Every structure is written in C-alpha cells, then in structure tokens.
Chains A and B, each alone.
Chain A
C-alpha cells in the first residue's frame, strides 16, 4: 500500500519560538511534510526531532536551526542565520541562500548544503565515528576559521562565482584541525592556512566523494554548469594528535 502524503502549512509571522516548536513537534507524527510561511528568526526549528519529516521554510529561520536534529530534511528558501545544524546527528539541511557563522557547529552526522556563502568558523569541531560522517557542502565562499578544531567529517567548498583563489576562504583555515577532510575548489595561498593542516594529493576515492556531493548540490539548487573535479585541493590535519604535549603527566 502506498502511504498517503499528508501536508500541513503553518503561518508563523511573529509567533514565539517556543510555541512554534511545540506546534511542529506535535505535527511530526501526523504529517510527512510541514511548511512554515513568513518565518522571522524563530530559533531551534526542527531541533531534537527524530522522525523522517520534511520541513519547508519560507522566510529567515533563527539561530540553531536543526540543532540536535536526528532525521528530518529541512529546506530553507532564503538565507539562514548562525549555528545551523548545531550538534546535528542525522538528516539534511538545504539552504537556498547564504548562512551566518558556525554552520554545522559540532555536527555529528547528516548533511548541510548551502547554495551561497557561509560566515566564520563553519564546521567548528565537526566529528565522526564509524559510519557517522557529517558533510557540509558550501556553494560559494567561506569566512575565517573554516573547519576550526575539526575532528571528523567532510567540508566541500565549490567556489562558485568566486573570482580569485584567495577569496575562496578567509584566514586560519583548519586551525586546530585534527581529523576529517576539507576539499576546496582551487589552491589557497599559504598564509590562509592554519598551522595544523597540510595539503595532500586527491586520490580516486576523494574524487568519487566530491563528484557525489557536486551531483547532489546540482540537483538541490538546479545548478547546471560543470565543476572541474581536478581543480580541487585536499586539506587534512598535519598531525592526528596535535595536543598530546598538553597532557603530559606531571
């Protein structure tokens, strides 16, 4: 039997975040798709939800969108603010615009796709464990401290519309990084790199990963131009355990 899709639309406007999130939580078991109209900065939308539900957002959602989320797919037809996907565990966030700072903060699993640019400290302290491997795909450019203290997962920066390689990211890329991988479409000047990362050659497996996420990006944002996989650089932690000297016995 084919399950019947059930949708609900909520007019949000200036509703406070607590009321809205209760409404969403009360709807997730009865509906497969929830559409929120006229969203104005309400925080924590989709946070902690552990069911497969699709949430469409019209308007700018507030900070911590999808925090601790464990399953849903959220699609934002606008920009998003700070700390989306904070400590998210499973699911997907698709943003048809740009994002603020700390996108994917301490993310543990799931995927975030951003059509445009992102702010500072994106992917800070992302981590991975066995098959839990979070991914952030950024369409255009990123601010300083991309992948700061990154411990796992994948960040892919496509550089669409970025004129010069030194504008792809800000400075201090991967500062404190000790796990995971960043793929950047281009080669960054040395002064942009944090002290704890190094550039390594792409292998076939890397190319497969990049290709897969480019295809998804193209699908979500109906992007049709070609992106050359061979121009990507791979950045990883120079040392898997850069802080061991901080923990000497005394």
Chain B
C-alpha cells in the first residue's frame, strides 16, 4: 500500500547534531537521541541524514535509490548512464533487523553529470542533476531517488528510527551533521519513500507537524519544474528552499522570512524600510508561506537550521556543548547524548536558529 490510498487520522520526533569545526562522528549518538523519543513515532517511518560521510567521493553526487524490482532498476540505470558518468555503484550495505520488512532494492551511485549534456542544456551541474532526479521520481514508476547531494546521504525506511539506523549500520559512517526523524504518519500509511528526511541535492529536511498550506506551496513549486511525487507534505519544503536559495539566490535569512513570513500586524510595527522589504517578500512569495504546525531541521552544505511555525505549534529545544550544537523535539533527547549541555533554549515561533560551520568548505 502506498501513500494516498488510505487516510489514517492521528506526532513525530526530530533530532539533529552539528559540529561547527567539521569534526566527524559516527551515527551512534543520533540513533541514541532519536530512540529516546520512541513514543513519538509509531514504527511507520524512520530516517537519518549524514553530512561529510563520503569524503572519498566528495566531488560526486551520491544518488541513493529505492527500486521496487530489477526491471525498473535496469531501466533507471540505463537513464543514469546516459546522463552521468558512474564512478561507483552498489548496494547500500544493510544488516538484517527483524522489525524491518518488505525492503525495496536499495542502491547507491556516485556520479558526475556528463559534461556535454550539461553544456548542451546550458545549465550548471546542480540544475542538471536536480532535473534528472525529478525526472526519475516522476516518470520511473517503482524507482525513487531519496538522496542526491554531495558528501552527504540519507538513510530511511519503514520502521522505528533506531531500527532503521541499525539496519543501515550507521555506526560505520562518520559525519559532521546528523539529523534524524521518527515518524508518526497522520494522514497516510507510510512507505519507504515517504519516510523523512526529504532531500534535493544537498538539502535535507526532517519535519514534525503538518503543512496545511501544502497544496498552495505545491502549485507554486510545480510552476518552476518541481514535481511533488511523494504525497507527503514535507517534500514541498525541500523544493521551496532549493527554489528560493539555489535558484532565486535569496540569502538564507530572507528565504526563511519567506517560509515563516511575519504577520501583517507585526510588519506594521517595523520601521518603514524594513516593513517595505518584508511586505515585498510577502507579496512576491505569498505562495511560499508555510502554514500549519511544524518544527523542522534543515541540513545543507553550510550548516544546520532549526525552524518552528510562527505560533509554535510543535516543540523544539536547542543546546550547545563545545563545538557541537544540538536540536531535538525534547530536552531529554539531548541530555541522553550530551551530559552537561549548555545554553538550553527553546526557539520561538518563526525564529530560525542558523548554525553555520566556522570555516566554509
């Protein structure tokens, strides 16, 4: 059964860690953190994003793909080799975990776009790769690219997050950002592609909540060539960020002001220059405003961002210890992996917390 075929009327858990000096650490601590919030999930989805995990292939796009069967795999690989130089391809290693059932074929490819193709289309490699990912997810029924960034990767599936982490053997990967999600699907049954994180290129999003503006947001991004294929609200946030920051080149702070635009009566209280600017953003990007209850963590190439909806209908706690910054739905999920966290803080509604690496790449 796939998303959209049934509605289950029904919380989620999120957790994230970043090391600001890009010191890498393995996936055990993020698993321990998300596992503590077991009750927030119901076993219908769990997943992780790790950044800095593929240093040996850091200049290649790492495509993680689910296949329903070998026929669609063969067809998709034909498309891949037509568009990309494939440096390396293979199964993503997994171990047998009793609770993880009905797994698809899970493959990983380190690729570079074929230069002549990119040049002929007069676009950059990121745009080319993004379009290929959208194309596969839209047109290759039974194939789903669930991770497509460089030196980062997503590992997800149907199950409790701690079991999914065990399944993918995340103790064997070392990264400088980890995010995690435990799913409690509120509208749909849960399938491998519908688990969080959702990605596009280097973007990854984990989300607790529900986007009530989903359809307005979806129509907006689809005008720019994206295609929402997963019947799950969170994916649209990923495409909004990709559109606003990568393609429209908005500074991150402004892009986040679009997503959680201040209320009109709060804009009125700003000085005229600032108010003018905020009004312009709301006017141009009215369809990119995200409404509904959410707390999200956004992983990207420069760092990690935490964001709540404007009236904070979901929980989020942050803390600092040394070079690491922690975020989680619950304070205890930080304390279980960080003995004496400092600066415990509850980000306010609509107040983004942006943590960037101290040195750019």
Bound complex: CA of A91 vs CA of B285, how far in Å? 50
Interface centre among A62, A145, A170, A191 (most CB of B within 10 A): A62
Output the nearest chain A residue to B311 by Cβ-Cβ distance.
A144
Residue B37 interfacial (CB < 8 Å): yes
CB < 8 Å neighbour of B349 from A43, A61, A62, A120: A120
Output the nearest chain B residue to A61 by Cβ-Cβ distance.
B332
Residue A59 interfacial (CB < 8 Å): yes
CB < 8 Å neighbour of A79 from B37, B312, B331: B331
How distant is A130 from chain B, measured CB to nearest CB, in Å?
A: 33
A and B contact pairs by CB, cutoff 8 A, 6 listed: A39-B332, A41-B36, A60-B332, A60-B335, A144-B312, A170-B348
Chain B residues, Cβ within 8 Å of A82: 315, 330
- Given A101-B315, A144-B312: A41 and B346 within 8 A (CB)? no
- Given A79-B344, A119-B346, A170-B348: A41 and B333 within 8 A (CB)? yes
Residue B269 interfacial (CB < 8 Å): yes
Output the nearest chain A residue to B313 by Cβ-Cβ distance.
A120
Q: Are B330 and A41 in contact (CB under 8 A)?
A: yes
Residue A63 interfacial (CB < 8 Å): yes
Q: Indicate with 1 or 0, residue by residue over B57-73, a CB within 8 angstroms of chain A CB atoms.
A: 00000000000000000
Output the nearest chain B residue to A170 by Cβ-Cβ distance.
B348
How distant is A13 from chain B, measured CB to nearest CB, in Å?
A: 9
Residue B317 interfacial (CB < 8 Å): yes
Residue A81 interfacial (CB < 8 Å): yes
Residue positions of A touching B, CB distance < 8 A: 14, 16-17, 39-41, 43, 59-63, 79, 81-82, 98, 100-101, 119-120, 143-145, 170, 172, 191
How distant is A191 from chain B, measured CB to nearest CB, in Å?
A: 7
How distant is B337 from chain A, measured CB to nearest CB, in Å?
A: 10
Output the nearest chain B residue to A44 by Cβ-Cβ distance.
B39
Q: Are A144 and B330 in contact (CB under 8 A)?
A: no
Chain B residues, Cβ within 8 Å of A60: 331-332, 335
How distant is A94 from chain B, measured CB to nearest CB, in Å?
A: 18
- The count of chain B contact residues (Cβ–Cβ below 8 Å) is 20
Chain B residues, Cβ within 8 Å of A120: 311-312, 349
Bound complex: CA of A60 vs CA of B336, how far in Å? 10
Chain B residues, Cβ within 8 Å of A14: 36, 336
Q: How many A-B residue pairs have CB under 8 A?
A: 61
Q: Are A143 and B39 in contact (CB under 8 A)?
A: no
Chain B residues, Cβ within 8 Å of A143: 312, 346, 348
Chain A residues, Cβ within 8 Å of B317: 100
Q: Are B330 and A62 in contact (CB under 8 A)?
A: yes
How distant is A188 from chain B, measured CB to nearest CB, in Å?
A: 15
How distant is B30 from chain A, measured CB to nearest CB, in Å?
A: 16
Rank and list the top 7 A-B pairs by shortest CB-CB distance, nearest first.
Answer: A41-B332, A60-B332, A40-B332, A120-B312, A40-B336, A60-B331, A119-B346
Bound complex: CA of A145 vs CA of B310, how far in Å? 12
Bound complex: CA of A191 vs CA of B263, how far in Å? 13
Bound complex: CA of A84 vs CA of B332, how far in Å? 14
Q: Are A191 and B269 in contact (CB under 8 A)?
A: yes
Bound complex: CA of A143 vs CA of B310, how far in Å? 12
Q: Are B39 and A40 in contact (CB under 8 A)?
A: no
Output the nearest chain A residue to B36 by Cβ-Cβ distance.
A41
Chain B residues, Cβ within 8 Å of A81: 315, 330-332
How distant is A63 from chain B, measured CB to nearest CB, in Å?
A: 7
Bound complex: CA of A94 vs CA of B312, how far in Å? 25
How distant is A243 from chain B, measured CB to nearest CB, in Å?
A: 20
Chain B residues, Cβ within 8 Å of A191: 265, 269
- Given A41-B336, A100-B315, A191-B269: A63 and B344 within 8 A (CB)? no
Q: Indicate with 1 or 0, residue by residue over B328-361, a CB within 8 angstroms of chain A CB atoms.
A: 0011110110000000101011000000000000
Chain B residues, Cβ within 8 Å of A16: 38
Chain A residues, Cβ within 8 Å of B39: 17, 43
